[in-house]
A and B are shown apart, each in its own frame.
Chain A
Amino acid sequence: MDKTIEINNLSKEYKVLNRKEGFKGAILNLFSKDYKYIKAINNVSMEIFSGEILGILGRNGAGKSTLIKMMTGVLKPSAGALSINGNTPFKNRKQHALNIGIVFGQRSQLWWSLPCIESFKIIKEIYSINDDVYEENMNFFNELIPLNELMNKPVRLMSLGQRVLCDILASFLHNPKIVFLDEPTIGLDIDVKDKIHKLILSLNSKKKTTVILTTHDMGDVDAICKRIVIIDNGEKIYDDKIYKLKKYFGPNKTLLAHINSNKIRDDSVVITNIKKLIDKHIQLIDYLSVECNNRWIKIVVDENQISVLKVLNLIQKEFDIDKIEIKEISTESVIKKIYEGKCL
């Protein structure tokens, strides 16, 4: 496979004023020269191959967006080299712009008060897309998502999900070699997330576009990426195939259940009871970890072995349960595991 992106020892520093508190501080801030330097990205190197879908995962503020903004040419790196299709993004801006498409989840490149189709027409001219390519792409998009009702709707009247779908389509319109998706699923419900995953997968497979996706949602990378890079505090802490990481987070779900009874005072009794119960009925106690704290039962379930619902069914026969919660494993816990050395 060809390398499309090469990143060598890339760093980005922000200069930030050390702000002082209070009214007096606010006045002093006007004259203060007391700056500190924050390393948003610290010495990151990686290669990205053409046609792959790469997930960049990290907590809020980890430096994902800064990395993407350097790759798109918005920000100038403080140090290090960055080459995309042979271009240096910050220098060959126009040439670079023709090769890439971008979606920033919280912003829209569509014209707010106009029907969506008008934005597409503007993009067609700005990128000098010829009529055949435009027609072909619009027909292809229409196969993926019914466009008729979307295209004539003013963008400001769209739901967030519809808007993001349109933004993604708009970023693929000029057949870019690389598309950057910066938190495209932020604030969306599962249904729309699923639609977006499918859309990205079909666009990637049809057009062989390299897709670089940042997210803090484990579900996104799980659904569409083969390789992931995890960034934390500006440093790359993981860069490998996703399946290697998957055995640690993939099938595990956490079940939280609250017991509605004042009679139970001793948490350890609850744990023993549950363990006995599971042992008796499903004999897979090795795959579960059970904790109990203030009448909150916490069971981590390996879904490859047994479904969460089955476990829930068991314990609710024994205990009077009033609240339940099922959690996917979070990015935070994966990162914690990586630091603990469990995934490497």
Chain B
Amino acid sequence: MQTTTTGPPGAEARQDATVAARAVDVWKVYGSGEAQVAALRGVSVDLGRGRFTAIMGPSGSGKSTLMHCLAGLDTVTRGEVHIGDVLVTGLGDAKLTRLRRDQVGFIFQQFNLLPSLTAQENILLPLSIAGRKPDRDWFAQVIEIVGLGDRLSHRPSQLSGGQQQRVACARALVARPNVIFADEPTGNLDSRSGAEVLGFLRRSVRDYGQTIVMVTHDPNAASYADRVVFLADGEVRAELHAPTADAVLDTMGRLDTGPVGAGRTVGA
């Protein structure tokens, strides 16, 4: 286990090919005048290529907002976001859509599968939309990783929550995006299914060099990551490398003066 720093991390690696996504002094402000609320206050963070990064923080810390900004789902008020070598900030909807299609994968807490498509069709959906042919070997490998071999022709309504989330993971993996953003991927799962999902997320990073950024409030989930970035009040407060669940819990407790149990609140 390594130590924590309180300064903005990642500033050291500017034009590094090992960076999959990067936020530079990102501000996100909602409302105006008196009612102004800053969700992000000058966040700078580099997300290493081929690494499994967890973003943690109590409810309202801005961790989901940061992820949405990084993924090109939300615009930033100030600062820059890069994915790969693309400057995301300022892109129009068409280019953003294309960027998401070609460079980004998503895993959501709510699975978000299309009920009318089979598991296989759901998995291949991003490729179909992009009009790309799936790589057969890679597809087989992904199916093997998530362990869905016998469920491919099922529809989401015929799958358990854990199985649905595995389909969602496979959907994100199969396009080999530059980076996969996972928003509380285990939030709706029981602990065993959750552990399975986290297990093969880590495996896809270790064995296949996939970049994954995961937002979570669960210290146990965060412990699967290579690195944990802690947010509070819209600022990066701390960072852990190769964390354990206990270390994460410990760091969470020291983040602010508020009750440490904040991590137990539902939602982001």
A binds B: no
Residues of B within 8 A of A (CB): none
